Structures are given as C-alpha cells and as structure tokens.
Structure 1
Amino acid sequence: MEKKNHCIVMVPSPGLSHLIPLVEFSKRLLSFQRENLHVKFIVPTLGAPSSSMKSILNNSLPPNSSFIILPQINIEDLTEKSDPATQMKETVKHSLPFIHQELTSLSSTNHLVAILFSVFSTDVIDLASEFNLLTYLFFASGATLFSFCFHFPQLDQDADDSSKNSLLELTDPVHVPGCSVRFQVKDLPDPVLFDRSSEVYKSFLAVVKNYSLVDGVIMNTFTDLEPDAVRALQQEHNNNIGEKNVPFVYPIGPIIQSETSNEVNKLECLTWLDNQPPRSVLYISFGSGGTLSQEQLNEIAFGLELSGHKFLWVVRAPSNFGGSAYLSQQKEDPLHYLPSGFVERTKEQGLVIPSWAPQIEILGHGSVGAFLSHCGWNSTLESVSHGVPVIAWPLFAEQRMNAVLLKDVLKVAVRPEANEDGIVKREEVARVVKGIIEENEEGLKMRKRIKELSDAAAAALSENGSSMKALSSLALKWQNI
C-alpha cells in the first residue's frame, strides 16, 4: 500500500497580512525536504479574492503544497460590519462547514497531522478533535503582543471586578509580562478599547481565551528581538500549574518575503531608486490596507515638500477609517486626492505610486534611508531585517503597541506628535523626516541599533540559529507522528 503524505493544514485569517507569513512559513518548513510532507492551504474569503491574493497563491507556493479558496462569505451575513478583526473571525466561523468538507476530503488520501490557523481563525479548533489533529496557532505578530493577548482575560477580569464598562476607564499603564515598558491604555489593540458589552470586545475576548487550548504557538519573531517576552512565555510553559495551559512557543522568525511576486510598479520604483544617493530616500507606506483622512493626507504631502528630502510614497484614496482598504479593494485613483500641483512640484524630489509598491525590494535598496510605516508586524520585521529605521505612524489594530515596542523598547523608531485633533501637522512631518534622514545624534543611534538587530535576524535564520532550531524541532515532531 502506498504511504500517505503527512499533511499539514493551514487556515489563514482573511487578509494578505495573515496569508503572506503562512505562505513564507510553508516555504521554510518544506525547505527541510522532509519526505511525504504536504501543506494544504484552506483559505476563507470575505468577498472576491484580490489580485494580490491570487498572485501569491498561484505563483508563490512551494512544491508539495496546494490551496483551495473557499466560497465567498457575504458581508451582509456578518453581525459586525465595521471592525476588521471581528469581520475576519466571523468570516472563518461562517466558513467552518466548507473547512469541514475539505478536511473530510483530505483525510481520505492523506495522513492529517496538524492544523495551523491564524489569530482570528481559532474557531477551527472545534474541528480538530474530530480529525485527531494537533492544533497550532500561527501568530503572525511578536511575543510581546502574544503575551498581552494571552494574559488579557485576567485584565478583563480585573476590569469586571472594579465594575469598569471600558478599559479606557483604567488610569494606570498596563504591564505585559516580559516587556520592560508599560503600555498606555490608548495604545492597546483596537478591539479591547470598545465597550466591554460590545460584540467587538466580546469577540476578541473569545479569540484570546482559545489560545490556551492549542498544542503550540508558532511565532513570527526571533529570540534576540524580544528576548524577555520569549523567555517569560517559555518559563510560564515550564511552570504550568493547575488548569492554566501556557502552550509551548516556537519563535521561528523573521518570516518575510524574499521577493515580491507582484510586478506592479516594480520597474518604475527600482529604476527611480537606482538614480538616488545612498540612504537619501524616505519610503512611505501604510501596509496592505492602511488609509488616511483627507486632512492627514494633505499634511503629509505638504510636510514632505517642506522637508526637502527625497521620498517614495505609496498613496491610497483617503478614508476616515484607518483600515478601510484592508479587506476590500479601492477603485478610485488615489493621486486625485493629493493637493493640487503636488506631484508636479515635487517631481524632482519624490516618486508617488498609487496603491501598491514592491516593499521588499524597496527596503532592501541602498538608496532608502528610512521607512514611514504603519507598524504592521510584517513591515516591522521587514524594516528590522533590512536595517531601515522607522518613523512610526500606527493606524489601527495592534499597530500602536508595535510602535511603542519599536520606539521605547527596541529604540529604532521615532514617533511624530499629533495635535489635539489627532492630526500630525506638516511642520511635525518635516521635523521627523529631517531628523531621521539627516542622521542627527538620535538618528545615528537608531541606525546603529537597527543594524545590530538586522545582524541578529540573519543569525537566527542561519543553520544553527535559534529560529532554525525551533523550526527543525517542530518539523521533526510532525514527521514522526
């Protein structure tokens, strides 16, 4: 009888920032060339798959892997239509019958070993026991955020004991085990700032309570980036007492793309960068879905012009919600929303690109001196890996926590100050751009520090590095089941 493949099932949450790290993880996992190991992506979707998603799935998956895109979930079927995190969770929950169907089909021809799922796909745990699968949370962010999420039920209980309707009523900064700084409540992830009786808050609480049910957590970080947080989680696992299960953590990062699969705007961006002086260009991008208000878009434009420094800016159409392009594609031409005459006036100073640019190649280019970033974790790891200091400009989700980590813990970022209306004015934009590009004393320290972290990232991924050892132990465990 022919030996069945050992099959690892991967269920990303909707959105590119969850799919990309899982795809890159699968490449690294299968690079060990374990015999009879196969990876199957089961991809829930809210609305039509984007061209970027199709490109990644069709062109970037490694050998010994395959995918299926599940039937689309209609946004009208969701109870919460405004919060992206809750949308993602509900999309996966509505997709469970389709996931069950795929697992049934796979089990007839494969030896199913484990199911990996992203942070908002934890409802698939309910299917794992039926198919006798090990369960692994693929946490595409870092150890500090995971520590906050894992311990969040206790913070919720404390708020309940003190009759708080919202965590915004808390006055003291929040301690996260394994982190040397405390977080202001306003910098915590968006869902926890809702009223505690809201569906958004309750959905987030339900998700993080599931984290104690998994067999392990695969984490997109590396030990030298967050040593205290990783150590604290490992110690808690080793000291598991009573009913509280702290799963074993596998820090296997940084997992980032090595090259961009989408060719859109690539030639134009790289040709332009080739003609700029070393470390002279500020790259500006707010990730795969971040958006700004019209007023803030104008202030950045005027601030860049005022700074006099080179820039490469990925522009999206404005929105009053910072993540409006995350789960849906924009159709407008974003350049129409820039101040009148801006593109013409700055044509010798900068390059404006609509909607999308090849970020990996840009950050790896010698002309780039800094990155104005929304501080999504993928972008954070990419800036660290390429040794590019950051102007931290968080918009939504957990990005404010990442910004605090970059600025106050890792000390590789500056964070511009907003006015009382939450707008960063053009003078402040110009100030931080000049400070980081012109390499004042603070800028030089940041550049030295991020170079050290870049070297540490490379070391973690070397043959005997900490991340490769963690991944090797995990692959061997699966192979022997």
Structure 2
Amino acid sequence: MEAKTHIAIVTVPVYSHLRSILEFAKRLVHLHHDIHVTCINPTFGSACNNTKALFESLPSTINYTFLPPINLEDLPHDTHPAIQVQVTILCSLPLIYDALKTLHASTRLVAIISDGLISQVLPFGKELNTLSYTYFPSTAMLLSLCLYSSMLDKTISCEYKDLLEPMEIPGCIPIHGTDLPDPLQDRSGVEYKQFLEGNERFYLADGILVNNFFEMEEETIRALQQEEGRGIPSVYAIGPFVQKGSCNEGSDTECLRWLDKQQHSSVLYVSFGSGGTLSHDQINELALGLELSGQGFLWVLRPPNKFGIIANIGAEIEDPFKFLPNGFVKRTEGRGLVVPYWASQVEILGHRAIGGFLCHCGWNSTLEAVVRGIPIIAWPLFAEQKMNAVLLTNGLKVALRVKVNKKGIVEREEVAKVIQNLIVGEEGEEIRQRMKKLEGVATDALKDDGSSTITLTQLAHKWRGLSLGVA
C-alpha cells in the first residue's frame, strides 16, 4: 500500500550537509513507516563515490532524484567551492520548484523540508499551499545568531571582530566577535549581506528542525522556543543524527586492524572532516607536535589546498605524504599511522583504542564524538566551526582548544601540550568524564521516550493529520 503521508526534502550539494539531512530522513521513516520521503537534489558536476554511497544506502521508503547538473564552466577555474554551491543553488531554484509542483500534484505533499543553506525554497511552500520547514544541520547557538543577526546588525556599529567584550546572543554563552562565522568577519562584504538575507528567510518557515538534542543546548533552545508566536518560527530539537556505519562496502580496514593492536583509549584520532585541509607549514607543525607528544595517533592526511577545503572529496590527485617532515613516518612507526585522504570515521571513533579526537569542530564530526563519548581537541578551520569550539570548550567543557600564534599557526609545542593534557592529563580525565555523561544523555534523547524522539513523533503526527485532512 502506498504511503499516505508524503514529505519532500530539498538538499544542497555539500557532502556534510547531505549526510546529515539523509540521516534525518532515515530516522523519520524508521520511526514512522507510513511516511514516504522524496529527496530532490541540485547537482553540479558528477557525484563522487562517497555521495553515491549515501543515496544507495537509503531505505525503499525514501525516493531520490538528481536534478540536471548546473553548468559552471563560465566560472573561473579556481572558484571557491562555496561559490560553486551558491551558484548551483540559485540556478537550480526553477528546477526545484517544478519538481515540487509536479510531486505535489501527484502525491499531495504535506511538508517541504529544505536544508538551511537553501532557504530560498521556503516561499515555495506558501505557493503550493503546504508547510515549509528548514532543516538546520548545526547548533541551536548558530541558529540563535542567525535569527537575531538583523537585530545585532542594527545595535552594533563596529566590526564584530573589533568588539572588546564578548557578544551576548540571546540564550547563548558569550562569544568573542573573532569566533563568529566567516561571513561576519567583514560587514562590508557580499557574504555578510547574503548571510543577513538568508537569515531573514528563516522567518518564513513553519518550523526549524535542529540536528541536536534539547539537553545539550537546553538554555538556547528554551530561549528560542519562548519566542515562538512573537515572530520566531517553532524550533524542534530532533537529533543527534549521525551515520551508524560506513556507507562504503569494503572500506579500508587497515586502520581498524592497526587499532586492534593498540591499548584501550590510548590513540588520538586526527581528522578535519570530509574535506578540510591545512597549509604545508601547518601540516609540518602538526606532525612534529604529534611526534613530540609521545602519544599514539591515527591521522587522516590530505595535501594542502589554497581554499582550505577539497571540493571533490573523492578526488585523490596528489600524494599527501610528500608534505610530511622527512623521516616522520619512520620515526613514529608503530605508535602512529597516517592514512591518505579518507578513513571510516564512524567505525574509528567507535573503536576501544580511541582516547581522543582532534577535529575541526564540524557539527557532524562533533556529534559523532558525542554519541561515542570521545573527548575533543578543538581545531576549528572555517564556517561556524569557531562557534562550535566555543560551545564545546566554554559551554559544555568537553574539549580543549588549541592556541594559534600571530601568524595563524598552531605550533608543535602547543600541539604536543594539548594532546598530552587530553590523553594522559588530569584535565583530560575530567573532560572525558563529562563527555561520557553527555554520551548517555544523547543516547537517552533517541530512546522511545527520549526528548528528540517525542519531538519528531509530534511532528509526524501533525503531518499525518494533514494528509488525512485533519486540521
């Protein structure tokens, strides 16, 4: 029998965002078998194997369609990946609307859920006379900043990075202006204007679904929910959504076999997400810091990139080992393992040998650490990652943050010190205990009577009622 309740999800061609929203879709249909989901996916270029694997792992109650690829040949060859995504989104909007209109005519959609990066879709819900939601794959803290950004823009006259005191965002811990997302570091730039415009569109949403659980950001979520009915959309904490295992069959098991030989909680896992990269100088300092620390490590290494991010995570063009210090691999043999480009992070973080995670504080990676109780060394690179680092270190106190010198480099001595503090120090043990408690709360949130499950079920009941014609 065909499902009566039909939801459309509109994604963006960003691997980390795809992972998050597809995990949400899988959780939704797992809990509510009568809900059917169709994913509409804007594209540019050809999908890499990692992206294909995400879609091929979806259950039968989730359909997906890839829109015709957007031609980006008119853009300069060295265009930043973020701009490529923005152009793809803008050029895909007519295609998205047509796809939604066709889908609505044949299945009567009860809701459209679009990724937070593509808030231009929100007005389509009103045009099609259906509910329209934003899926927000980051923190409630960032959401609060987004929703109050216009107010902050009117009340603060200087550049945020020049503020002498930490900023007060409603419901959030204080944060220095230098730790705000990249678009807010230059208020005269195009990115800042686009940031404000996108945030204003959030107010068109019938609700905002946040990939976090109530107990992790209780004060922030409560503050947002108290403003419902006074302009701010309803906020639903329904996470955490993380991958349960690798989507790639036959993924490399070398690192897992190596971990099997290591002592319990003795290894630091080092990775900067699905595409983050470091400069050559920073790779050198990180390597020498790992060596100096004397601790075990498993490092996913990528070559430098001028943007600090690899657009095509499936591309393995350059040998990253040539950027390591001479003799580093030989000197750390047995104690450390360097893996080029990619490793199965979900499986690695679940291994008994992992005692810490040096990461960029991307939200997917952060939640993967939380649900496995792995303490963090925060090394933010771009986007909202510095905000996430502030939440983890100052708010939840489950991470140590590296200090950057005046040239923007984390020096080897700093690397060694923070690793030792986390893996064998007293401070690290206190952080580990707090993270273990947070792991338990995250697990509870996804139980049948947990806060996230109850919230998602309430939404599902609302959508089911609409499909049956119940107001």
Q: What is the match of residue 350 of structure 1? A: 336
User: Distance between the aligned counterparts of 1:278 and 1:167, measured in 2?
Assistant: 44
Are the equivalent residues in 2 in contact too, given 1:301–1:339 (CA < 8 A)? yes
Between 326-335 and 140-149, the greater mean CA deviation after superposition: 326-335
User: Distance between the aligned counterparts of 1:98 and 1:224, measured in 2?
Assistant: 39
Are the equivalent residues in 2 in contact too, given 1:265–1:353 (CA < 8 A)? no
How big is the shift at 1:322? Answer: 2.3
How big is the shift at 1:218? Answer: 0.6
Secondary structure at the residue paired with 2:148? helix
Q: What is the match of residue 17 of structure 2? A: 18
Q: What is the match of residue 179 of structure 2? A: 187
Match of 2:444 among 446, 459, 465: 459
Q: What is the match of residue 147 of structure 1? A: 144
Identity of aligned residues (%): 46
Q: What is the match of residue 457 of structure 2? A: 472
User: Distance between the aligned counterparts of 2:41 and 2:333, measured in 1?
Assistant: 41
Match of 1:170 among 163, 168, 171: 163
The 1:80/1:38 distance shift into structure 2, 3 A limit, reads farther
Q: What is the match of residue 122 of structure 2? A: 125
| 1:182-223 deviations in Å (ceiling 9; x for gaps) | 111110000111242x22111111111111110001111111
Normalised to the residue count of structure 1, the TM-score between the two structures is 0.92
Q: What is the match of residue 85 of structure 2? A: 88
User: Distance between the aligned counterparts of 1:15 and 1:283, measured in 2?
Assistant: 24
How big is the shift at 1:145? Answer: 1.0
Are the equivalent residues in 2 in contact too, given 1:4–1:111 (CA < 8 A)? no
How big is the shift at 1:168? Answer: 3.0
Are the equivalent residues in 2 in contact too, given 1:263–1:358 (CA < 8 A)? no
Match of 1:229 among 220, 223, 232: 220
Secondary structure at the residue paired with 2:166? coil
How big is the shift at 1:171? Answer: 3.3
How big is the shift at 1:325? Answer: 3.8
**Gaps (5+ residues) in structure 2?**
467-471
1:361 aligns with 2:350: no
Q: What is the match of residue 38 of structure 2? A: 40
Are the equivalent residues in 2 in contact too, given 1:220–1:253 (CA < 8 A)? yes
Secondary structure at the residue paired with 1:95? helix
Q: Kindly report which structure 2 residues correspond to 1:20-419, keeping only aligned pairs within 5 A, or say none.
A: 20-35=19-34, 37-58=35-56, 60-76=57-73, 84-159=81-156, 162=157, 164=158, 166-179=159-172, 181-196=173-188, 198-237=189-228, 240-241=229-230, 245-263=231-249, 265-325=251-311, 329-419=315-405
User: Distance between the aligned counterparts of 1:167 and 1:71, measured in 2?
Assistant: 40
The 1:101/1:299 distance shift into structure 2, 3 A limit, reads same
RMSD: 2.0
Secondary structure at the residue paired with 1:314? strand
User: Distance between the aligned counterparts of 1:137 and 1:360, measured in 2?
Assistant: 26
How big is the shift at 1:113? Answer: 1.2
Are the equivalent residues in 2 in contact too, given 1:80–1:199 (CA < 8 A)? no
Are the equivalent residues in 2 in contact too, given 1:45–1:69 (CA < 8 A)? yes
The 1:401/1:79 distance shift into structure 2, 3 A limit, reads farther
The 1:78/1:10 distance shift into structure 2, 3 A limit, reads farther
Code of the residue aligned with 1:392 in structure 2: it is: A
How big is the shift at 1:68? Answer: 1.2
Are the equivalent residues in 1 in contact too, given 2:251–2:344 (CA < 8 A)? yes
How big is the shift at 1:107? Answer: 2.6
The 1:156/1:85 distance shift into structure 2, 3 A limit, reads farther
The 1:336/1:275 distance shift into structure 2, 3 A limit, reads same
Between 199-208 and 103-112, the greater mean CA deviation after superposition: 103-112
| 1:116-172 deviations in Å (ceiling 9; x for gaps) | 11111111123222322211110011111111111111111224xx3x4x4334333
User: Distance between the aligned counterparts of 1:81 and 1:157, measured in 2?
Assistant: 35
Are the equivalent residues in 2 in contact too, given 1:315–1:353 (CA < 8 A)? yes
| 1:79-126 deviations in Å (ceiling 9; x for gaps) | 997555554333212101211232233234212111111111111123
How big is the shift at 1:330? Answer: 4.9
Between 121-130 and 259-268, the greater mean CA deviation after superposition: 259-268
Are the equivalent residues in 1 in contact too, given 2:161–2:176 (CA < 8 A)? no
User: Distance between the aligned counterparts of 1:283 and 1:347, measured in 2?
Assistant: 16
Code of the residue aligned with 2:181 in structure 1: it is: P
User: Distance between the aligned counterparts of 2:164 and 2:422, measured in 1?
Assistant: 33
How big is the shift at 1:309? Answer: 1.1
User: Distance between the aligned counterparts of 1:148 and 1:80, measured in 2?
Assistant: 34
User: Distance between the aligned counterparts of 2:130 and 2:416, measured in 1?
Assistant: 53
Secondary structure at the residue paired with 1:112? coil
Secondary structure at the residue paired with 1:210? helix
The 1:4/1:411 distance shift into structure 2, 3 A limit, reads closer
User: Distance between the aligned counterparts of 1:444 and 1:424, measured in 2?
Assistant: 23
Code of the residue aligned with 2:177 in structure 1: it is: V
User: Distance between the aligned counterparts of 2:449 and 2:239, measured in 1?
Assistant: 14
**Gaps (5+ residues) in structure 1?**
none
Are the equivalent residues in 1 in contact too, given 2:160–2:178 (CA < 8 A)? no
User: Distance between the aligned counterparts of 1:175 and 1:381, measured in 2?
Assistant: 25
Are the equivalent residues in 2 in contact too, given 1:189–1:399 (CA < 8 A)? yes
Between 138-147 and 187-196, the greater mean CA deviation after superposition: 187-196
Q: What is the match of residue 431 of structure 1? A: 417
Code of the residue aligned with 1:230 in structure 2: it is: I
User: Distance between the aligned counterparts of 1:441 and 1:416, measured in 2?
Assistant: 17
| 1:56-92 deviations in Å (ceiling 9; x for gaps) | 112x212211111222223355699755555433321
Code of the residue aligned with 1:333 in structure 2: it is: D
Are the equivalent residues in 1 in contact too, given 2:80–2:307 (CA < 8 A)? no
Q: Kindly report which structure 2 residues correspond to 1:434-453, keeping only aligned pairs within 5 A, or say none.
A: 434-438=420-424, 440-453=425-438
Are the equivalent residues in 2 in contact too, given 1:13–1:89 (CA < 8 A)? no
The 1:316/1:3 distance shift into structure 2, 3 A limit, reads closer
